[in-house]
Every structure is written in C-alpha cells, then in structure tokens.
Structure 1
C-alpha cells in the first residue's frame, strides 16, 4: 500500500511545486487568509472530497473515508504568511508588498493537498478515515488551532501527525523527539510612567529611559539566577521605545519581548519573577510601571508511542537518508493544542537549500523536494497506523 501511495506522490511532485509557488506568490497574513482558504476549498471540491470551510475562522477541513472501518487519522498543515518583505530573487517571489511565506507554510499546504488527493484516489483500498486539517493563523496568537478544535476539527480523531519543513536541517533528514519539542511562547509588555523634563535638569525628573534600562538588565538575571540550570528558559526584550528630542528626558518608555519555556512550572516561575522585578523597580524609582504578560501557545509535547511509531515509519521512506533525534526548539507552535487533545507527534522534515536562511528571514526559502518526503512520511504514518 505504501508503494502505491509513493508512486502517486512521485507523479504529483510537479503539481506540488506549482501549488507551492502559487501560494508563495499570493501570501496572506494570519486571520486574513480568505483567498488561500478558498483555494484549498476549491482544490477539494474539484476532487469531489467532502470539505468544510470557515472552521474556527478561516480553517478548512477535508475528510476522506476508506472503504473499510478503521481508525481516524488527522494530518495538519498551516497556511498563513508573515509581515515580511520578500527579498529573494526568484520567479515565484511574493507579489504582495510586505507579506511573504517566510516559514514554509506554503510548502506544508502543497504537500498535504497532494497527499489528500492520493489518499482520495486510493480510498476503495483503504480502511479508516483521514482528516486533512488546513489551519489558518499559526503565526499569531491565539492562533487558529484552538478555535478549529473548538469547532470540531478533532471530532472522532484517534491520532494526529504534523511536520514542519525546516530550512536549517539537511535535506533528506527526518528529525523526531519524544516529549517537549517546541517551547511555550509568551510575550510581555512593560510601560514605564516616569516624569519627563529638560535634559539639563535630570534631578527634577524620573527618567523612564534609565528605569527601563534597569529593567532590561534586571530581567536578564532571571534565567541565570532564578531558573534551575538543568531547565531551559529564554527571556528576550525585543523592543524598547522612548522617542524624544535629544534634550528631553523621557516621560514614558515601553518595553516588549518574549519568554520561552518548556515546563509549566518554569513558565509560572518566569511570569511571577518578572512581576516581582517590575514591582521592585517601580518602588525603587518611585514611579508607576504597568506589566502585562500574555500567555501564547503551550509547549509542543510529543506522545511517546506515536513518536516511536513515526520514527519507524520514517526509516522506511524512499529518499530519506537519516532519521535522527531532534534537539528541542525554542520556537513556538500551536500544534501543541492538538496534542493536548489527542495522541500524536510533530516532527521536522529537513529542507536545507543551497543557500540557507533561517525561518522568518526576508530571504527564506527551502528545498522543494522536501515537500515530497514530508508527504510520503505523513502518508505512510496515516496508512500504517491503521494496522497498529
């Protein structure tokens, strides 16, 4: 059965590239993916596949039933883009100013669409049901996964598999990991309200820049001095704004950034300790500081049995040269919500191109052949799961 699937996917590879490049040229931001959702819907409708749009927002879910009873397997791909100007010199460069697929979601979508077509064509030979979850808004919290789940995309699902094309992992490599594989991704905003004044009379002010600088330095000590070295955490201040004339002491300043953790306990610790530092800095400087902490996606935690199963499947995929254990990534992914509801695993498909750039870079691209390997791995996992 796997060989039949692989043959169909090999024949579909050129179509996969066409779809990926079309989507790359017409990207849409999170929660604004109207045309992309319609493209996905029309693809399934043309095949005669049962498809539902507007799932949890702009999500699309298609279902293919085999001829015999069996398990229900879900496969997920995301399809939103990022607010980044595409700087690549390629024929399929983004045509939308300031918006591009800089994370591979166009490739995820193309691979899943062609996989769904192949499984649909084989439905009379298959057992079980296959749920193809095309998710909007992965890039921007609260994300699309949680609303799609609330709208029923996992109803009746026994297991879920997902992959991410990864531009810094060698092509023809599959990476897997049991347990936490991607971090919880939170953000924070801090507003310092001081008392501005003339730059020549600092004693009459409460300098928001100096207070903000104290916060930046004090917050950096939390990971090094409050978190157990055996655990992992990241705290990054990404923005510090206090825009004034050169001779004006800032009345206010705004800081924002991100916190990444794997365990719920360290996540709670970081939020509580940040509040303590903020409150202490406000007291020491006799000023007001507003602290807002926004919890984003939880950590992606892969289930042991499903991850070991995926590893065994990947080792028999034609064209895959290496199946290796991954290191945890500090990036966030709302695939976490699916894994909180049903067993499954999320793995990385190596897609390193000749000139690699990291994800979310203006020149990001990936090796397109990786889409074929991703589709084969997801497809084999879906079919083989029926006989577990």
Structure 2
C-alpha cells in the first residue's frame, strides 16, 4: 500500500443505494456534542480507574464500579458469577435479534504488576499495581461511546453491547471466559482499540488482516546427572544440554518457516545450579512463541518436541515440555477496518487514519472474538509525553484528549455498523424463498 494514509472504502455492494439509512449529520453532531459536554466526566473516570488498578482475575472493584457507571446510563448489565468482567446492553424498544443487529465494543479492565513511578495527582494507590497498558483509558473511551450513543437509544437500528473484559494480561486470557459467558452471543460485529503512546494525539493506526501475533508460552525442564565440577565425564550436565536447546530454539523459525512470515521464539528464563563448582541435576527454561500464521503456530508443538527430544537423547538427558496456549493472532476484518478509517478521517481529517505497515508481534486476546465474529481493533494515538513513556513502563501516561477521540471513533463506527447490519438483515429476509 503506497503512502501512510489508509484509503477509505465504500459500503458493501449490497448496501449501495441505501445511503439514506446511514447515520444523519444531526445524529453525528449529537454524538460530538455529548462527548464534548462530558469531557471532564470521562477524564475523571479514567483518573479514578488509574488510581485504583487491580490485577488480572482480581478486578472485583473495577467491575463493580463500571457496572454502576453503565447502569446509570440505562444499560442492562450481565456480570460473570466470578465477579470479574461483564457486558452491558443498550436495547431499543421492540428489539428482535432475528430482525435487528447487535454491535459490541470491547474494553479490557485489568492492570499490570508494575510499581508506578509517575509523579501525578492520580498515581496508583495499589502498591505494585499499575494501569501501564492503558486499560483505564480503554474503559473510559468505551464508556464514553456508550454515554454518547445512550442519547440516541430510541433511534438506534439495533442493540449496542459494551464488553468490559477481565484478565487480558494473562495466559490464556479472559476473552475465552467472556465468550463462554455469552458476551458475543447474537453479536454481528465487534470493535476494539488499544493505546499507542508512540502515535501522536489526533491520529489512529489501522490495518486490515494480521494486526497482532499469537502468544503462547512454554516451560522446559531438563534432567541430567549432577556431580563435581572437576569431573564432568561422570555427569550429564543439564546446563550444557540446556544451552544447546536454547541455541536450537532461536534458530527454529528461520530454518523451518517461510522467512517472509514473522515468527519469534524468545527465552525469558534460564535457571540452573546453586554453586560454581557443582554440576546440577536439572536446568529449566521458559519463553514465548509468537507468529501471525495459524499454520506455523500449530506446527511448533511438534517442532519443539522433536528438537528438544533429539538434543536430550544425544546427551543422555531427559526432559519435560509444557506448552501453554495463549491468544491467537488478531486478523482484522477488512470492511470493519475501512469503516473505522472512514470515521476517523471524518473526525480527524485526511491524515487522521494511518495505515500500519506491519503487524505487531505483541499478543492481544481481542483475537478470540475475531475468530468467531467479524471484528477490528485500531491503535489510538495517546501522545508520547516522555522518552520512557511506552507501554508496560512504570512511567506510562497519556494525553487525555485521546479519550474523546477514541470514544467518538468507537461511537460513530458502531452507529454506522448498526445501520449497515440492519440493512443486511432486512435484505436477507427479503430474499428468503417463500
């Protein structure tokens, strides 16, 4: 794709001629006015959430707080029995899921085990826990989209669903549990966003197709035969074996996969021994595997076992391998991505939506929803305010003007998709055989 701007696309061919059903300028102006009038409210919400972060699977107070907030807007809420994570519906009168669409907007709600180092009035009050990935911002923007669309409830052509998902930062992640809870039942499309501190305020990043990588973990336990450091010939040195394994793992993607399709194996831990003059009995390694290719992901289980097994066999060691499946890769729906880009261009100007040339090798369990229903995520420019202001940094912070930008894009994209999906459902019923 030439240039950085993301080209807009027209509506699907089946909807051509139905532009009269698109959101009217008056409705869009009401969304803008509502968000402008509630700017301070959204910033206050984000700062409250930033002050009170909670770790994955422990977001009890966060869930309760957001439930109370969205219920004030008139949404019907559905909380998981475990007390973390929920979804909320804004349902117009006479809604029928067979006749009318549902569009969902998702936010994650958990924080990270990081000690915040920002000197700000709303710094984390939970020692060792911080919203260093911007989930406080995600919650505020998704809440803002619901706040603005609430004003149009009686004019919505379908149901709006807000998903506040727990445990995004863990493996396998909370999205699967939300799916099992029914969060995307009868949902026709889903939207999401992620903070991007490397992107300026007033700009978003969009990319159809591969957007993030899959994320899996592995743990390797190698058992040898320990002994005196002066007599390695009497031992089976697990450290030596583990180093051969480590070198082989780093070479696996390059020698087994098409080099044009990214795949990354990273070792994060290497643990063995307690004394400099003793060959230990065991050594342990752990790391992560990332790829945008589902085929590569499926092949890696066998590749790991054959590689580790062959090296251990050659040196007389044994091993145990544990694989932990995380989130699959996000593959953004091309049309929904074009809707987001069109909406962002309307709001931010011609350069507001920038094409992301390469997928991120980070993981995001928004992919779990996109495997089941059409969906797309975009990157929200939050403005880098300091050299160390990157994701998962103890200094992470944002330009809070980004909240209204994100909320406005989500609200307008959801409204447009509701209108277009309503036309599709109507067309489908009209062409059904008698």
Fold shared, TM-score > 0.5 on shorter chain = yes
| Distance change (3 Å), C-alpha of 1:104 and 1:244 | same
Q: Select 2:363's aligned residue among 313, 323, 332.
A: 332
Q: Would you say 1:75 and 2:105 are equivalent positions?
A: yes
Q: Select 2:395's aligned residue among 360, 363, 385.
A: 363
Instruction: Using the TM superposition, name which of 175-184 and 202-211 deviates more.
Output: 202-211
Q: Select 1:35's aligned residue among 54, 61, 65.
A: 61
Is contact 1:57-1:147 (8 Å) kept?
A: no
Q: Select 1:354's aligned residue among 385, 395, 405.
A: 385
Structure 1 distance, partners of 2:40, 2:150, is 19
Write the mapping of 1:152-301 to structure 2, written as runs, cut at 5 A.
152-301=182-331
RMSD: 1.7
Q: Would you say 1:21 and 2:42 are equivalent positions?
A: no
Displacement of 1:67:
4.9
TM-score computed with the length of structure 2 as normaliser: 0.86
Structure 1 distance, partners of 2:125, 2:179, is 32
| Distance change (3 Å), C-alpha of 1:68 and 1:306 | farther
Structure 1 distance, partners of 2:156, 2:259, is 49
Corresponding position of 1:46: 72
Displacement of 1:68:
7.1
Displacement of 1:170:
2.2
TM-score computed with the length of structure 1 as normaliser: 0.96
Is contact 1:261-1:299 (8 Å) kept?
A: yes
**CA shift digits 1:115-135 (9 cap, x unpaired):** 212222321233211001111
Q: Would you say 1:375 and 2:407 are equivalent positions?
A: yes
**SS in structure 1 opposite 2:215?**
strand
Q: Select 2:372's aligned residue among 331, 336, 341.
A: 341
Write the mapping of 1:32-111 to structure 2, written as runs, cut at 5 A.
32-54=58-80, 58-67=84-93, 70-111=100-141
**CA shift digits 1:211-261 (9 cap, x unpaired):** 111111111111222221111100000110114122221211110000001
Structure 1 distance, partners of 2:124, 2:405, is 25
Is contact 1:206-1:287 (8 Å) kept?
A: yes
Structure 1 distance, partners of 2:348, 2:70, is 27
Displacement of 1:55:
6.3
Structure 2 distance, partners of 1:386, 1:58, is 28
Structure 2 distance, partners of 1:162, 1:94, is 25
Is contact 1:166-1:348 (8 Å) kept?
A: yes
Is contact 2:106-2:163 (8 Å) kept?
A: yes
Displacement of 1:8:
0.7
**SS in structure 1 opposite 2:397?**
coil
Is contact 1:111-1:374 (8 Å) kept?
A: yes
Is contact 1:81-1:139 (8 Å) kept?
A: yes
Q: Would you say 1:142 and 2:168 are equivalent positions?
A: no
**CA shift digits 1:320-339 (9 cap, x unpaired):** 84211112010111111111
How many residues get paired? 388
Please list every run of 5 or more consecutive structure 2 residues that lacks an aligned counterpart in the other structure.
Answer: 1-26, 421-434
Is contact 1:86-1:99 (8 Å) kept?
A: yes
Is contact 2:171-2:324 (8 Å) kept?
A: no
